[in-house]
Amino acid sequence: MALKITHTGQERFRTITSSYYRGAHGIIVVYDVTDNDSFTNVKQWLQEIDRYASEGVNKLLVGNKSDLVNKKVVEYAASKEFADQLGIPFLETSAKNATNVEQAFLTMAKQIKDRMGSTSTGAGPNKLNTITPGQSVSQQAAGGCC
């Protein structure tokens, strides 16, 4: 599985994002845990995804900057509850110290693979390879997955 990553979250990209949603198999919505406005904007991003993306597109909610514990204003429990209400997986990351960054991409890749595998003809659950958290990407690629 190859992942094409497009970072469009800044306001200057707002006008072109609808074209990126079309054809996407998965979308990761990232907000800043130290900025409440960033979390508030998640609702608008999710509405745009629902409007422009393919039906059934996989979504993942990610709170970034989890390393800034003293500056955190969006609590894990509130974000998790919000994601659970929408049926979207959630995790917190720190790009600065690489906490859960790889896990976010592995989570999204597994969701897409599971969904695509369940909709393709002849693919049963026992024919899908699994992505194991903590397993290196090179190990998975050598095994035929991803």
| pLDDT tens track for 4-35 | 676 666 666 666 667 777 888 999 999 999 99
- Structural fold of domain 11-142: Rossmann fold (3.40.50)
Kindly compute the dihedral angle of the four CA atoms of residues 50, 146, 139, 125, in this order, to the nearest 10 degrees: 80
| pLDDT tens track for 87-113 | 999 999 999 999 999 999 999 999 999
Distance between CA atoms of 26 and 62, rounded to whole angstroms?
A: 13
CA-based R_g, the chain, Å:
16
pTM for the whole thing?
0.75
